[in-house]
């Protein structure tokens, strides 16, 4: 069976304050009942592997129960953790978690307390990891190590390797410091190393007999991951920009494989005036991240083509006898439902928006939700570019 992996950020709460953290912060988590539903939806949509992460995933109160349920559904489970809570607490909850996992991925960047403190880690973080490695020595769970490589620790990784070599480590993975969002973005200059520096360093660390594989993960490798946020939004990141693919609580069905393909923004034009259509096509053809996949001149064709071509976005004419973009949007919404419909932009050849327009637009927004994007009045060109650019930077 083909694997379908997701990374589930079950909470954004954390008991550490790493300066390189690029995790999403302050997203409210769901209650356990809802997360059980999310798990059911993930399993029903072919997910075979879950990496539980956060924040610090074990701070979610019933992580043990979710892991047990996932295992019952035949899903492989890996936990990525800073190890603090698991090291400091020996109880049924922590035992349950460790005993049901396939992989325990511990994050450790240095054996030096000084460096760890500079990275914003818990005091004595290394000692806590050491205690946890001792505690799990005779357990069946496989141990993996994640190390974030930055200017602060790149020259001290040999000594970390010497220490890890005292244990049976299934794999040691290096993650390049990534200034993509949150604190990591603020600390870019202080931390960033190049891909080349990382590659060379990793090569020199493939020498420890008790460490299975040693590899590194580049930013573009992260961007292949499908991430489930605490509110069940499904996210992938493209060129540093997050794109929401839907919601694993609200949707029973989603196609994670298809969603992962990173393509140009597909655009359909529904307009019955040849000259204007040509102008719109020319504007879009100038953009290397967007493409026109279809042109329709009547409502029925537009509906059929949208269902067939699955565009990300539609530019449609506002109102005319033959083609009314608002009607198209409404019909598409009724046929596909709000999660599957493209983003609608309506073009009007007038040069001002009236109260009557606003009423109509409010009604259409109510009917099709956030997928109604904008009413564009003449001149269009620059506005069309801005709409597509904004979509690219903040995908629905």
**Using CB under 6 A as the criterion, which residues of the chain lie in contact with ligand SF4 when the complex forms?**
14, 16-18, 21, 23, 54-56, 82
Residue (45 or 105) nearer to ligand SF4, CB: 105
Q: At what angle do helices 381-393 and 274-285 cross, to 10 degrees?
A: 40
Residue (46 or 120) nearer to ligand SF4, CB: 120
The CA-atom distances, in angstroms, between 235 and each of 24, 187, 210, 224 are 11, 24, 36, 10
Shortest Å distance, C-beta 215 to ligand SF4:
19
- What DSSP letter does each residue of 180-210 carry, written as one string? SSHHHHHTHHHH---HHHHHHHHHHTTT-TT
- Please name the residues in contact with 203: beta carbons below 8 A apart, sequence gap of 6 or more: none
Residue (18 or 312) nearer to ligand SF4, CB: 18
Are 126 and 110 spatial neighbours (Cβ–Cβ below 8 Å)? yes
Shortest Å distance, C-beta 360 to ligand SF4:
46
Cis omega (within 30 of 0) for bond into 379: yes
Residue (21 or 347) nearer to ligand SF4, CB: 21
Are 30 and 231 spatial neighbours (Cβ–Cβ below 8 Å)? yes
Shortest Å distance, C-beta 148 to ligand SF4:
7
Residue (54 or 342) nearer to ligand SF4, CB: 54
Are 313 and 265 spatial neighbours (Cβ–Cβ below 8 Å)? yes
Residue (82 or 277) nearer to ligand SF4, CB: 82
Which stretches within the chain are classed as H helix? 32-44, 63-72, 84-88, 92-100, 113-118, 125-135, 157-164, 182-186, 188-191, 195-204, 219-222, 256-259, 274-285, 299-309, 325-336, 355-368, 381-393
Residue (100 or 147) nearer to ligand SF4, CB: 147
Are 20 and 147 spatial neighbours (Cβ–Cβ below 8 Å)? no
Residue (115 or 341) nearer to ligand SF4, CB: 115
Shortest Å distance, C-beta 182 to ligand SF4:
8
Tokens coding 289: 């991240």
Shortest Å distance, C-beta 168 to ligand SF4:
24
Shortest Å distance, C-beta 60 to ligand SF4:
13
- CB atoms under 10 Å from CB of 286, counted, come to 9
Shortest Å distance, C-beta 166 to ligand SF4:
23
Tokens coding 109: 């960047």
Are 191 and 177 spatial neighbours (Cβ–Cβ below 8 Å)? yes
Residue (14 or 180) nearer to ligand SF4, CB: 14
Residue (59 or 164) nearer to ligand SF4, CB: 59
Shortest Å distance, C-beta 255 to ligand SF4:
29
Kindly calculate the radius of gyration of the chain based on its CA atoms and give it in whole angstroms.
25
Shortest Å distance, C-beta 12 to ligand SF4:
8
Shortest Å distance, C-beta 137 to ligand SF4:
23
Q: Measuring CA to CA, which residue among 264, 315, 318 is closest to residue 294?
A: 315
Phi-psi region of 26 (alpha: psi -120 to 50; beta: other; left: phi over 0): left
């Amino acid at each position: 069976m083909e694997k379908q992996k997701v990374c589930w950020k079950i909470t954004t709460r954390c008991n550490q304050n790493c300066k390189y953290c690029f995790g999403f912060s302050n997203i409210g988590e769901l209650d356990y009942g809802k997360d059980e539903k999310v798990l059911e939806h993930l399993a029903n949509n072919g997910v075979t592997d879950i990496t539980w992460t956060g924040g610090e995933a074990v701070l979610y109160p019933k992580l043990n129960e979710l892991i047990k349920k996932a295992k019952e559904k035949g899903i492989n489970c890996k936990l990525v953790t800073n190890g603090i809570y698991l090291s400091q607490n020996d109880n049924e909850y922590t035992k349950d978690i460790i005993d049901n996992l396939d992989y325990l991925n511990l994050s450790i960047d240095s054996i030096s307390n000084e460096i760890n403190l500079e990275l914003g880690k818990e005091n004595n973080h290394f000692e806590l990891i050491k205690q946890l490695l001792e505690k799990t020595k005779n357990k069946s769970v496989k141990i993996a190590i994640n190390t974030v490589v930055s200017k602060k620790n790149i020259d001290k990784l040999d000594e970390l390797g010497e220490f890890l070599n005292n244990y049976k480590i299934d794999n040691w993975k290096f993650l390049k410091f990534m200034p993509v969002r949150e604190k990591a973005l603020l600390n870019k200059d202080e931390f960033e190393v190049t891909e080349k520096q990382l590659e060379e360093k990793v090569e020199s660390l493939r020498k420890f007999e008790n460490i299975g594989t040693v590899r590194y993960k580049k930013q573009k490798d992260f961007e292949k991951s499908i991430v489930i946020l605490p509110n069940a939004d499904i996210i992938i990141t493209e060129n540093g920009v997050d794109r929401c693919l839907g919601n694993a609580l609200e949707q029973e069905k989603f196609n994670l494989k298809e969603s992962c393909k990173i393509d140009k923004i597909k655009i359909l034009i529904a307009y019955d005036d040849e000259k204007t259509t040509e102008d719109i096509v020319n504007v879009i053809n100038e953009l290397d991240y967007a493409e026109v996949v279809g042109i329709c001149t009547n409502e029925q064709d537009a509906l059929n083509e949208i269902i067939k071509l699955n565009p990300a976005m539609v530019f449609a004419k506002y109102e005319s006898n033959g083609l009314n973009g608002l009607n198209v949007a409404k019909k598409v919404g009724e046929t596909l439902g709000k999660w599957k419909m493209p983003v609608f932009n309506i073009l009007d050849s007038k040069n001002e928006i009236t109260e009557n327009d606003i009423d109509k637009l409010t009604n259409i927004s109510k009917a099709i939700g956030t997928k109604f994007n904008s009413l564009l009045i003449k001149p269009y060109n620059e506005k069309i570019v801005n709409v597509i650019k904004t979509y690219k930077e903040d995908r629905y």
